[in-house]
Chains A and B, each alone.
Chain A
């Protein structure tokens, strides 16, 4: 018996593959297992070839896995494309009509078990039964998924599920089946984008404007669904330029604000980034990366926009960029982004990507009872008359008041301005204002999250990751360690600003330093070289649109 298993469900868009995947994943989480979900889909609504992969384990896991133990083929194309990924103990679940002769292929009479439109539910039943999941638990999950609105539908689903369980129990058992858990901890299942949305609400988000762009859209959809209940306002803007300007207007007036997009949409938002910096307006900007340039591969993953975000916006101004590596980090770093935006008054970025955005994980529910919200200065009193929104201070941070909430007037401008916010062409004042704004970098630098190091001291190999490649680096490192190598990993969950004192020692202690990034040019490695002069020894890059896996890293290192 093995404690980890990789299930791959493949089929066309429109076959209900995501439904099967989500209910199966949830049933696994409810049964107490850990999961990492990788979704791969084509940019079309029907047809094409899509996959939903669930790596499941009895112990904590952080990365997807390439070899497939259970291949659930909803169509023949899945067999052609993925049969070669099957492990020796692997098994295929396919339709009775398929031409495969292999012993390890379980041919399911979908036509007998269910009407055509329900065959995905039959497939769900077969897989759950093979894995040894409790039928009642799967049934409840199915019910929660479809809601109580259509009792007829639920009954039909339940019936098909039972049929499928019964049929499967008469078949040879699956050797790779998961060991049952005796006392499983109770967990929630969430995607990166959902965690960003919830992290934002917990931080006090009140206004969110967006223009849909994959893979960021589900942040907006999650927030829109919760807006009424949680007292926030979500607006679909006419374009990304409007989205960021609306959010800046809302934040100026006192509502903590966020926008989310992907690279192409962010390209349009860039003038707003500069505006937030000049007017010193707090705003959180999420960029869920996908491969570019231009529209690129709309539904695939990449870590290719670090340089773009780092240099976005004209002129010189401070900024911070977070890069979550897990779903938990999506929640925590979003909170941190709000706090930082509020405290230093300017744009803060969260760089995620399609893989993490769409990746479901099992996690401990976030404890929100004691988390402090971040509040703009609603009833701040300002005694130093006259009030100057951009007063030059030692820290570079000026007293922020909100328009309409005090006896003082609040004036902000995108042109270079005086301390009271009015246009100026006084060039010595211009110089002071530049310095004032840059001064805020000190504050940001003091709060930088140090990169997280794990593994052997003085390692032969140090894997350096940022953002979503974290899990794969950690697992690749531990696989190498178990084969006797001295390996460590270093993960950057904040990529800007860079404080070399935090990590130079780690780089210098290792014999070989390897950059692991989802891009073609090694953007983080180059940034580190720029900041420190340190040259990485090896680079493991992936830019074919798929997420980095531990196996990919190991293959490249050979």
Chain B
């Protein structure tokens, strides 16, 4: 029996009222609901306030560089597919610095769950615009307001036929927790873009702003329908749909490697006779 206690209880360095707290609770609940012992779980994170989250969990953790958590997670998963690998980090980290890796992970369909704390702002560096900030958003770095069109990670993921694409709101903790549990269970790449208020630097997209807009998808919504999913993914404004927007059952990346059918790479011995044959073939 895996219990909540197994995942520990830590003091954090987040601002009081930050959306990170409820995401943290939802993550823990999902891990417990999945009955995953901490030893089998590897979290990989980048840099930012969100990226600190796994430090406040009792798990295996590799907290790497800004934007580079997805490649680290990919390498770790390929090396030991027995690990449940979860990336947890911010919107700046995953869609800005790590944008190319985000696209590549979708294309590969590596069996990694990506949880993005999307607060539409850079928290740790004190409030610059992020790739998801809305046009006109004013910061010290963008005094005239953001001029670029925001990146829509959910729409991009649907367009690219990612295996599992969901949007969530940190304020709906149980809903989020259920999504995380399903994302972990999904074999292939899963994205959950989690809308999260930043009380210190985003005075536009506040808790009540999201609360008023975020609406769960109806129970008869079919996430296998890509065209419908694209429409839902692009909905943003007075109503923001949350839930599993799109999914498919493309086989995960790991299945393409015959060497992994015989188990993890870790601990595999070199076959010296085979190697001697290879060297002979250069004669």
Binding site for B on A (CB under 8 A): 30, 186-190, 194, 198, 201-202, 204, 206-207, 209, 226-233, 235, 237-239, 241-243, 245-255, 257, 271-272, 275, 279, 365-366, 368-369, 371, 373, 375-376, 378, 402-415, 421-423
Contact = CB atoms under 8 A, between A and B. Distances in A.
A404 B75 contact: no
Nearest to B101: A242
B279 interface: yes
B117 interface: no
Contacts of A408: 39
Contacts of B269: 373
Interface in B73-124: 73-80, 82-83, 100-101, 103-104
A195 B78 CA distance: 25
B100 A242 contact: yes
B59 interface: yes
B279 A198 contact: yes
B282 A365 contact: yes
B61 interface: yes
Nearest to A191: B282
Given A252-B62, A254-B265, A373-B269, 20 more contacts: A188-B279, A190-B282, A198-B279, A228-B258, A237-B104, A241-B68, A245-B75, A247-B75, A249-B64, A249-B77, A253-B42, A253-B80, A254-B79, A254-B266, A275-B64, A378-B266, A403-B83, A404-B42, A407-B39, A409-B61
A230 B271 contact: yes
Given A238-B100, A250-B79, A233 B282 contact: no
B32 interface: no
Interchain residue pairs A-B with the least CB separation, the first 6: A249-B75, A254-B266, A249-B72, A403-B60, A246-B75, A250-B75
Contacts of B42: 253, 403-404
A188 B59 CA distance: 49
Contacts of A186: 283
A271 B55 contact: no
Interface string B248-283: 000000000111101011111111111110111011
A229 B39 CA distance: 31
Contact of A188 (B40, B79, B274, B283): B283
Interface of B: 38-40, 42, 44, 47, 52, 55, 58-65, 68, 71-80, 82-83, 100-101, 103-104, 257-260, 262, 264-276, 278-280, 282-283
B258 to A, nearest CB: 6
A490 B60 CA distance: 48
Contacts of B82: 404
A247 B283 CA distance: 32
B259 to A, nearest CB: 5
12 contacts: A198-B278, A207-B75, A209-B75, A230-B271, A241-B68, A242-B104, A245-B71, A249-B76, A253-B42, A275-B65, A365-B279, A368-B272
Nearest to B277: A229
A235 to B, nearest CB: 7
Contacts of B267: 254, 375, 378
A321 B153 CA distance: 41
Q: Which of A207, A239, A409 counts the most B-chain CB atoms under 10 A from its CB? A: A409
B282 A194 contact: yes
A375 B267 CA distance: 7
Given A233-B260, A249-B44, A257-B75, A404 B80 contact: yes
Given A202-B275, A253-B80, A368-B279, A414 B75 contact: no
A415 B49 CA distance: 13
A433 to B, nearest CB: 15
Contacts of B38: 409
A413 B63 CA distance: 5
A188 B276 CA distance: 12
Contacts of A404: 39-40, 42, 60, 80, 82-83
Given A230-B270, A368-B272, A423 B64 contact: no
A253 B38 CA distance: 15
B78 A229 contact: no
A233 to B, nearest CB: 6
B272 to A, nearest CB: 6
B62 to A, nearest CB: 5
Nearest to B108: A235
Contacts of A251: 75, 79
B71 A230 contact: no
A414 B65 contact: yes
A409 B43 CA distance: 11
A371 B272 CA distance: 9
B80 A254 contact: yes
A238 B62 contact: no
B87 to A, nearest CB: 11
A409 B268 CA distance: 22
